[in-house]
Structure 1
Amino acid sequence: MNIETLTLPLPHDWFAAQTSLPKNRFRMSRLKSSGSAMQGLAARVAQAAGAADVAPSDSTLDSAQKLFDSYFRVERAAGSPVDMLRAAMAQALPVCVADIESGAELTEEQLETLARGLHRLADWALIPGDMPEFTPTIRTADALFRWKQQHQLFFLIIHGMLYLLHVLEEALDREHAPVTQAILSDFADLMQASTVAFHLAADFSADSYENLIRPDMTAHDPHFSGLFYADHKELVVSLRVLKRVPDDFEEELARINDAISETYDAHARVCLRFVGDTASLASKDDSRVAAESIRGKYMNRTKVIAGLNKPRH
Structure 2
Amino acid sequence: MPQPTARLMDGTALARRTISAAADRAAEITRRTGTAPCLATVLVGEDPASVTYVRMKRNRCEQVGIRSLHVALPTTASTAELVDTIGALSADPAVHGILLQHPVGPHIDERAAFEAIAPEKDVDGVTMHSFAAMGFGLPGFVSCTPGGILRLLDAYGVELAGRHAVVVGRSPILGKPTGLLLLGRDATVTYCHSRTADLPAHLARADVLVAAVGRPRLILGEHLKPGAVVVDAGYNPGNVGDVDFDSAAARASLITPVPGGVGPMTIAVLLEQTVHAAGRQLGVPATA
Higher helix share: 1
| TM-score, with length taken from structure 2 | 0.26
Q: Which structure would you say has the larger RCO, counting Cα contacts within 8 Å and 6 or more residues apart?
A: 2
TM-score, normalization by structure 1: 0.24
Q: Which has the higher strand share?
A: 2
